[in-house]
Amino acid sequence: GAGVSQSPSNKVTEKGKDVELRCDPISGHTALYWYRQSLGQGLEFLIYFQGNSAPDKSGLPSDRFSAERTGGSVSTLTIQRTQQEDSAVYLCASSLDQGLSGYTFGSGTRLTVV
C-alpha cells in the first residue's frame, strides 16, 4: 500500500485479556518500529526489526509484551493479560533503511483497557 497500515484503529478490551495489534509496513521497507504514546506524552520506543537481524526488544516494558514480524513484512504486537496502564496509542513506523531518509508512521491503534 501507499502508507503504513495499522489495525484495528481502536480497541477496547477488558483487563486481563490478550490483544493483538497489526502493522502492515510500506512494501520494500526493511526496518519496522513499534512505539507507544500515552496521553500527552512523547513516543516511547518498544521494539525494532531490521531485515533478518535479531530484533531490538530493549524497549518492551514487560514480558507481557511481544512482537513478531513474519516474512519481513507484517508485524504483530501482542500484549498478554492487559493492564489499565497499557492504555495508549500504539504506533508503527517503517523505513527504507535504518531511518536516515525518514520514518513513515501509521495512524496508530488506540488501546483502551477497562
Partner 1 sequence: DAKTTQPNSMESNEEEPVHLPCNHSTISGTDYIHWYRQLPSQGPEYVIHGLTSNVNNRMASLAIAEDRKSSTLILHRATLRDAAVYYCILRDFEGYQKVTFGTGTKLQVIP
| Site residues for partner 1 per CB under 8 A | 4, 33, 35, 41-45, 48, 50, 56, 58-59, 91, 93, 98-100, 102-108
Least distance in angstroms from the C-beta of 19 to partner 1: 19
Kindly report each contact of residues 95-98 with a partner whose C-beta sits within 8 Å and lies 24 or more positions away, as own/partner.
95/29, 95/30, 95/31, 95/33, 96/28, 96/29, 96/30, 96/31, 97/30, 97/31, 98/31, 98/50
Least distance in angstroms from the C-beta of 31 to partner 1: 8
Least distance in angstroms from the C-beta of 81 to partner 1: 26
